[in-house]
Amino acid sequence: MRFLNFHFEPVSAAVALVATIALIFFALQTSFRRFHSRKGKQHVIGGTVLDQFFNFHRLHDFTTDHAKKHKTYRLLSLFRNEVYTADPVNVEYILKTNFANYGKGWYHHGILTDLLGDGIFTVDGEKWQHQRKDLFMKATLDQVFKIIIGVDLDTMCGTYEEGTKFSNAFDEASGLTLYRYVDILWKIKRFLNIGSEAVLRNRIKVVDEFVYELIRKKTEQIQKPQHDSHVIKADLVSRFLALEETDPKYLRDIILSFIIAGRDTTAVTLSWFLYLLCKNPHVQEKIAQEVRDTTKLKNTCNIDEITTALTEGTLQKMNYLHAALTETLRLYPAVPLDGKLCLSDETLPDGFSVKRGDMVSYLPYAMGRMEFLWGNDAEEFRPERWLDENGAFQQQSSFKFTAFQAGPRICLGKDFAYRQMKVFAAVLCHSYKFKLAFENEEVNYMVMLTLHIDGGLHLARYHLDFKYLAAAVLALVIAVLVAKKHGRRRKRHPIAGTVFHQLVNFNRLHDYMTDLARKHSSYRLLSLSSSEVYTSDPINVEYILKTKFSNYGKGRHQYEILRDLLGDGIFTVDGEKWRHQRKAASYQFSSKLLRDYSSSVFKGNAIKLAAIVSEAAISNQAIEIQDLLFKSTMDSVFNIVLGVELDTIGGTYEEGSKFSSSFDDASAITILRYIDVFWKAKRFLNIGQEALLKKHVRVVDEFVYNVIKSKTEKVHNQDDKPVRKDLLSRFLELDETDPKYLKDIILSFIIAGKDTTATTLSWFLYKLSKLPHVQEKIAQEVKDATGLSDFSKPEEFAANITEEALEKMQYLHAALTETLRLYPAVPWDAKICFSDDVWPDGFYVKKGDLVAYQPYAMGRMKSLWGDDAEEFRPERWLDIDGKFQQESPFKFTAFQAGPRVCLGKDFSYRQMKIFSAILLGSYKFKLVDEHKSIHYRTSLTLHLDGGLHLYAYRRFGYSNS
């Protein structure tokens, strides 16, 4: 339990150890006296609770070791014995025959009550019977489903901050509650409110506040006369309220008991199931084949087809899958140990006596490993043990296979759990093969109430710990049911998968989305709270970006992710704020003065880059050109926006280098927020990546505010008002003096101009290195346009690159555009739908849906670009006279379109053409490793993963002396 590392205080541990050693002798003496005072013999002593304490990290294997020696044994503790059994005869006696004599009792109730109150897992007698009856009446699949989604916590995406806080607090409270079983000082610490008990109290407070607020809101809903009774009564809380069960404490206890029963157990089992399939690939393949045989589907069908085919009939036929899941539960039961309290003295069937007050536990984890129960292969994963000679599933005694308890307390949700696990397992095994990311890494459990995998389960490159798996289970089940519900009312785009599939395919995300786009020009991916709609249809793109522009914007979700770094800049806001900044920026970008100034900056930085390339060419050293391009474009955009020479490529300006480094780190961490479901909690606690982000944002802000302050003073103190060329100075001259406003707009311009151009130039040079005939054709065009030769220096090329010369470089312009078609700097762009709408294709999108168009996928569509869509062919952009010809911006979407079309498009082309002309006019480029495959890194912009390593060769003759 990793979080206990912070709460297991050295002082408390030392006190516990000394106290236990001091008292253990007393306990042994007391036990010895009780042994002689009892009627009947007692079970063999296997150790003391101190042994449990020292073996806490391997607790269940510790109990298994003892159970292999003695089917039933005792551990000694203060004032009572703890009896553990793996004998099915004793288990049946405890759970069924003499059920009334074994319950939770005061001991378990005392440990669990702070978190679970008087819920069904903490009480006995009349209270238990009352709740058991209520839950049995309501625990249908439909009701359980609606109980789960009555409130959308969205822990997977982290959009609901209070829900994420609740989930985290509930996890920690569960772990700390379990710790009480081995912490003999927990009551003292609770009384003093120190250590782990102080943390537990804090976590329970968060849990209680959330649940009581939910109950209050539900109560108000149910009491409103105008409510829709059918909708309100769908979830369990509302149904209890409708039956006039209005005691908030009673409802709170029921809710938390139901959550702890239904949330972790299924996800824990599925995690171990996938782990075992990775270790036993022949089982994985056998399950996949069974799913294909029973559903009559091929590997190529989409998620909607699979889920539709998973009827009760097909699930019933999946006997091998059922056996594999049951075999998983045998070896890795979700609840590995279950304890009762003996309520009166008696003798177990094995002839040994137990005394009133003894804790009596049966051991599902240990029982699954007993050779006397399962044979010599007990510790092997072998689903076949559950099948008869005809391949039909055969049950075992519930007192031998105890994963779902037995007797009167048998798990009510057993059938629901199997159904949920089979649906999820069938979809995954049908669609994917799984492999452990680290095959030699040992996988262990984390000691908690349920058998979590410690550190999660890493498959391929993806982290599937039990929380994400639970969220994925819910996403799948919820999404399919919601889709069917809405499908009856309005036509929705076809379902191509879930957001879980994006996670599984994260390393090839854009190609995965392209594969889906080839099947459906517009499709949906389902998430826990809404749909995500992706389109490659130019008609839909035009509708989103232009026709119905006002209905699609950044929205609250993206604003919250970006605002810590970019504030209220043009890329984070909608509405009036966006229009004001757009108007101001548009005015500045249309200035000839700024255009001329930017051209001189681009040339200067291209010459600096050429000097570094020249040194590498002379010494025959490889260069990592992507990193150099990032630095060079950063220097360029910084100079144009702020009028400051950052010189990251030369490293002469220390403060500038600090700013650049912090800005890069802050940008990367901000991007991580899109996939880190816990970022808000980390920000609140100021830990991990969010603590680093805060530090880097502070460096960025201080630097920019100092530049603004310095510029403001210069503008105000100089009487002659010299012509100022950088954007900041021009804004100041227009009396835009609010530092926060200026800072936000400046950083937005920097992030827009820094990575995008460098990324495109990197892919451009990669393609030219793969296609030397294109590289030579561009080099010749540059020489023709500038009137220079191979013997010219980079400085000479820069001096001759005029507006007229750039205009003549039509093939270069086409090659850069072809690069952007195949490798757009921003591979997909998302908006939020503000109100329900119907697209031109006739399909319905809902308020709150994430709506994205896909430049990367669109560039590869044969329906848009012909059969050679995936070939790099600049000629497709030229007419018969060799002149560049535009395409619709709703087909070629690299610069967006409509009102949000990129203001810096012309500046971007100018910078890329100047850098390309100077570099290609002076050098030839070749890949260091021509056989190495180049991939992108999944990020907001399409960086080359690992950079681009090239050799540069001087074109003939010039000396660098």
Other CB atoms within 10 A of residue 109 CB: 18
Instruction: Give the pLDDT confidence score for residue 506 in this predicted structure.
Output: 77
953 phi and psi angles, rounded to 5 deg: -125, 130
Which range, 26-30, 37-41, 529-533, 553-557, is most confident? 553-557
DSSP 5: G
**C-alpha to C-alpha distances, 840 to 537, 742, 837, 862, nearest whole angstrom:** 10, 39, 10, 21
Contact 756, 942 (CB under 8 A): no
Number of domains in the chain: 2
In a domain, 660, yes or no: yes
Q: Which domain holds residue 307?
A: 12-453
Residue-wise pLDDT for 131-162, tens only, equals 554 443 333 333 333 443 355 444 444 445 67
Q: Is the pLDDT of residue 742 over 80?
A: yes
Contact 878, 811 (CB under 8 A): yes
Q: Is the pLDDT of residue 542 over 90?
A: yes
CA 488 – CA 420 distance, rounded (Å): 24
Q: What is the mean pLDDT of the chain?
A: 80
**Structure tokens given for 153:** 């916590």
More confident site: 210 or 816: 816
In a domain, 531, yes or no: no
Which range, 119-123, 550-554, 728-732, is most confident? 550-554
Which of 417, 432, 453 lies at the terminal end of a domain, its last residue?
453
Contact 552, 541 (CB under 8 A): no
Instruction: Give the pLDDT confidence score for residue 4 in this predicted structure.
Output: 40
Q: Give alpha helix (H) positions in 98-243.
A: 105-116, 125-138, 141-149, 161-179, 186-192, 195-223, 229-232, 236-242
Residue-wise pLDDT for 186-197, tens only, equals 788 888 888 888
Instruction: Give the pLDDT confidence score for residue 17 in this predicted structure.
Output: 45
CATH code, domain carrying 447: 1.10.630.10
Instruction: Give the pLDDT confidence score for residue 237 in this predicted structure.
Output: 60
Q: What is the mean pLDDT of residues 381-396?
A: 93
Instruction: Give the pLDDT confidence score for residue 743 in this predicted structure.
Output: 86
Residue-wise pLDDT for 627-642, tens only, equals 999 999 988 988 888 8
pLDDT range class, residue 18, cuts 50, 70, 90: very low
Q: Residue written as tokens 């069974």? A: 290
Q: Residue written as tokens 């994006």? A: 502
| Residue 94 C-beta-side C-alpha neighbours within 13 Å | 34
In a domain, 468, yes or no: no
In a domain, 230, yes or no: yes
CA 35 – CA 44 distance, rounded (Å): 11
Q: Is the pLDDT of residue 582 over 90?
A: no
Which of 398, 426, 453 lies at the terminal end of a domain, its last residue?
453
Lowest mean pLDDT among 267-276, 285-294, 576-585, 627-636: 576-585
In a domain, 371, yes or no: yes
Instruction: Give the pLDDT confidence score for residue 704 in this predicted structure.
Output: 87
CA 187 – CA 16 distance, rounded (Å): 12
Instruction: Give the pLDDT confidence score for residue 644 in this predicted structure.
Output: 78
More confident site: 218 or 396: 396
pLDDT range class, residue 800, cuts 50, 70, 90: very high
Q: Which of 838, 825, 698 is nearest to 763 (CA)?
A: 825
Q: Is the pLDDT of residue 723 over 80?
A: no
Q: Which of 81, 125, 135 is nearest to 103 (CA)?
A: 125
Instruction: Give the pLDDT confidence score for residue 243 in this predicted structure.
Output: 54
More confident site: 847 or 15: 847
CA 68 – CA 84 distance, rounded (Å): 12
Instruction: Give the pLDDT confidence score for residue 678 in this predicted structure.
Output: 78
Q: What is the mean pLDDT of residues 817-839?
A: 93
In a domain, 514, yes or no: no
Q: Is the pLDDT of residue 117 over 80?
A: no
DSSP 338: E
Which range, 22-31, 78-87, 223-232, is most confident? 78-87
CA 726 – CA 736 distance, rounded (Å): 14
Which of 438, 453, 468 lies at the terminal end of a domain, its last residue?
453
More confident site: 569 or 136: 569
Quick check: helix, strand or coil at residue 837? Answer: strand
Q: Give alpha helix (H) positions in 310-374.
A: 312-317, 319-331, 364-367, 371-374
Which range, 425-439, 554-568, 802-816, is most confident? 802-816
Q: What is the mean pLDDT of residues 609-631?
A: 93
In a domain, 186, yes or no: yes
Q: Give alpha helix (H) positions in 350-401.
A: 364-367, 371-374
Instruction: Give the pLDDT confidence score for residue 642 in this predicted structure.
Output: 81
637 and 739 within one domain? yes
Q: Is the dihedral of CA 34, 39, 41, 46 positive or negative?
A: negative
788 and 921 within one domain? yes
329 and 213 within one domain? yes
Q: Is the pLDDT of residue 647 over 60?
A: yes
Residue-wise pLDDT for 177-186, tens only, equals 767 766 778 7
More confident site: 584 or 811: 811
Quick check: helix, strand or coil at residue 845? Answer: strand
Residue-wise pLDDT for 654-698, tens only, equals 787 788 888 878 887 887 777 676 788 888 888 888 999 999 999
pLDDT range class, residue 890, cuts 50, 70, 90: very high
623 and 750 within one domain? yes
Q: Which helix (H) or strand (E) holds 24?
A: helix 10-37
747 and 644 within one domain? yes
pLDDT range class, residue 617, cuts 50, 70, 90: very high
Quick check: helix, strand or coil at residue 346? Answer: strand
Q: Which helix (H) or strand (E) holds 756?
A: helix 739-770
Q: Which helix (H) or strand (E) holds 924?
A: strand 923-927
Q: Is the pLDDT of residue 286 over 60?
A: yes
Instruction: Give the pLDDT confidence score for residue 301 in this predicted structure.
Output: 58
Instruction: Give the pLDDT confidence score for residue 21 in this predicted structure.
Output: 46
Q: Is the pLDDT of residue 958 over 70?
A: no
**Structure tokens given for 737:** 């003096």
Lowest mean pLDDT among 223-232, 751-760, 763-772, 884-893: 223-232
Q: Is the pLDDT of residue 116 over 70?
A: no
Q: Is the pLDDT of residue 411 over 80?
A: no
In a domain, 575, yes or no: no
Q: What is the mean pLDDT of residues 238-266?
A: 66
Q: What is the mean pLDDT of residues 376-387?
A: 94
CA 509 – CA 507 distance, rounded (Å): 6
559 and 448 within one domain? no
pLDDT range class, residue 125, cuts 50, 70, 90: low
**Structure tokens given for 126:** 């009349």
Instruction: Give the pLDDT confidence score for residue 507 in this predicted structure.
Output: 82
140 and 288 within one domain? yes
Lowest mean pLDDT among 538-542, 591-595, 832-836: 591-595
pLDDT range class, residue 474, cuts 50, 70, 90: very low
Q: What is the mean pLDDT of residues 157-182?
A: 69
Which range, 236-245, 300-309, 441-450, is most confident? 441-450
157 is in an annotated binding site: no
